[in-house]
A and B are shown apart, each in its own frame.
Chain A
Amino acid sequence: MDEMKKAVLQYVIDEYVDEDEEMEVDAATPLISSGLVDSFSMVSLKVFLEKKYGVKLPDDEATPEAFDTVDSICDLVRKHQG
């Protein structure tokens, strides 16, 4: 797993998985469609990505579908890194 995926995955675990929850999350785990992350709290992840990777993710691309797995999130960030 590359550095970006590791960092995003760690953020997702820290930000969204409760400590007492027995849940394993990897880069392919559905986040939004599984209900782990809802569309309202997804904004925290967008703020994190924009700050950490110096990108601006347009609202029409930062969709629940694009944010559904760590894999797809990293694809989106890379696209905007140019």
Chain B
Amino acid sequence: MAYDDKIRAAYRAEIEAIREKGLYKEKRFICSPQGAEILVEYPEGAPREKVLNFCANNYLGLSSHPEVVAAAHRGLDERGYGMSSVRFICGTQDIHRELQDKVSEFLGMESTLLFPSCMDANSGVFEAILGKNDVIIADRLIHASLVDGIRLCSAEYDTFKHMDMKHLENKLILHRDKRVRLVVTDGVFSMDGDLAPLDRMCELCDRYGAMLLVDDSHGTGFIGRTGRGTHEHFGVMDRVDIITTTFGKGLGGASGGCVSGRRELVELCRQKARPYLFSNSLAPAIVAASIKVIELITGSTERRDKLERNTVRFRQGITEVGLCVREGETPIVPVMLFNAKLANDMARDMYAEGIYVVGFFFPVVPAGAARIRVQLSAAHEDHHIDRCVEAFRKVGEKYGILGLDRNGIIEKYGM
């Protein structure tokens, strides 16, 4: 047997090193449907606790919505459990086509192709549409799945400082000899909750003949007046060439993603993108439920409007309490603590107060930028938000950081 004691010991040492660096991911078990109030077993083996969830990507509160669950049941009854095939052999049902058409219409794009996840969409899109004479110019804080996709592609790549338009322009000039220049950004950045300035990026892309790809996984369904996404927010719905997004966050939260964009680019993904070609079709129940989600959010802006109100209420509350938050308008609210241990300790104390939030620190966020990331949902009610703010006040007071700015917290706890 090749897996001998020596190899086992080496792997154990690697796991131990992760633990020693404070990067070990603990197991947490949710023993209820996803929602504002959940039942959690944490740490493993501990009694289940009813807590308020402020760390899910359940932005629109649709993860356990009765109409979405009912649609999933219908999909299961009418189209079966699984397809046992990739899309291009015998894995495409009429409902896959219907969902693709509905997503194209919702996002205002020419065409859409479903992937098993947005991670897969981002892994496959670059190699399908670019070659060695092309260049990708990416914001430095794009999501890890985009980074992986870019590294899998034969095109050259370069980066620009986070949301720095002058730096992006310099890079567009530097790479002007390339066949295709593809600028890549998140629409909403998942750790800071800030919005990429797509209006200015479109202007630069027009000026230098570049294409623009936006991963709008943290924006689709609720950013913009009717929730179409970051491109709607900035009034550039017809000027973005490719959007990748997910059904695993605001849009029901199960799984699945897509590439949506110019017809030829999407067609090339259908022909060449490896995660599309070599991975199973999205399950019928998820497709059917996702169609229902698109119908719900096309028919009414009620849920994204509620999310917007919840975001304002939380941001106002947490600012009044005197915690240091990054300003913004999205439902991702980073409570900045700068020190990794402080972020971890406070998240643990918040859990004891019945609030489920998680601390993030290097290498997930830049060194010295540790924080607790709070995510609002349309499933939250005012009393949930008020409880969360009150818990932050209590825990923040315990650590003596209320009213302190960045320098004050760093002076007290270091980076």
Contacts and interface: CB of A to CB of B under 8 A. Distances in A.
A44 B158 contact: yes
A35 B362 contact: yes
Contacts, number: 25
Nearest to A47: B158
A15 B138 CA distance: 14
B159 A34 contact: no
Given A35-B362, A35-B363, A47-B158, A41 B368 contact: no
Given A40-B140, A40-B147, A47-B156, A35 B367 contact: yes
B284 to A, nearest CB: 37
B136 to A, nearest CB: 10
A43 interface: yes
B366 interface: yes
Nearest to A35: B367
A35 B140 CA distance: 13
B366 A35 contact: yes
**Which of the four size classes fits the interface of chain B?**
10 to 19
A38 interface: yes
A43 B158 contact: yes
Nearest to B144: A40
**Which of the four size classes fits the interface of chain A?**
10 to 19
A18 B138 CA distance: 17
B128 to A, nearest CB: 21
A16 B367 CA distance: 14
A35 B228 CA distance: 35
Interface in A3-20: 15-16, 18
A27 to B, nearest CB: 20
A41 B363 contact: no
A31 to B, nearest CB: 12
Contacts of A15: 161
Interface of A: 15-16, 18, 34-36, 38, 40-41, 43-44, 47
18 contacts: A15-B161, A16-B161, A18-B161, A34-B367, A35-B366, A36-B367, A40-B138, A40-B140, A40-B147, A41-B140, A41-B159, A43-B157, A43-B158, A43-B159, A44-B158, A44-B159, A47-B156, A47-B158
Given A35-B366, A47-B156, 17 more contacts: A15-B161, A16-B161, A18-B161, A34-B367, A35-B363, A35-B367, A35-B368, A36-B367, A38-B140, A40-B138, A40-B140, A40-B147, A41-B140, A41-B159, A43-B158, A43-B159, A44-B159
Interface of B: 138, 140, 147, 156-159, 161, 362-363, 366-368
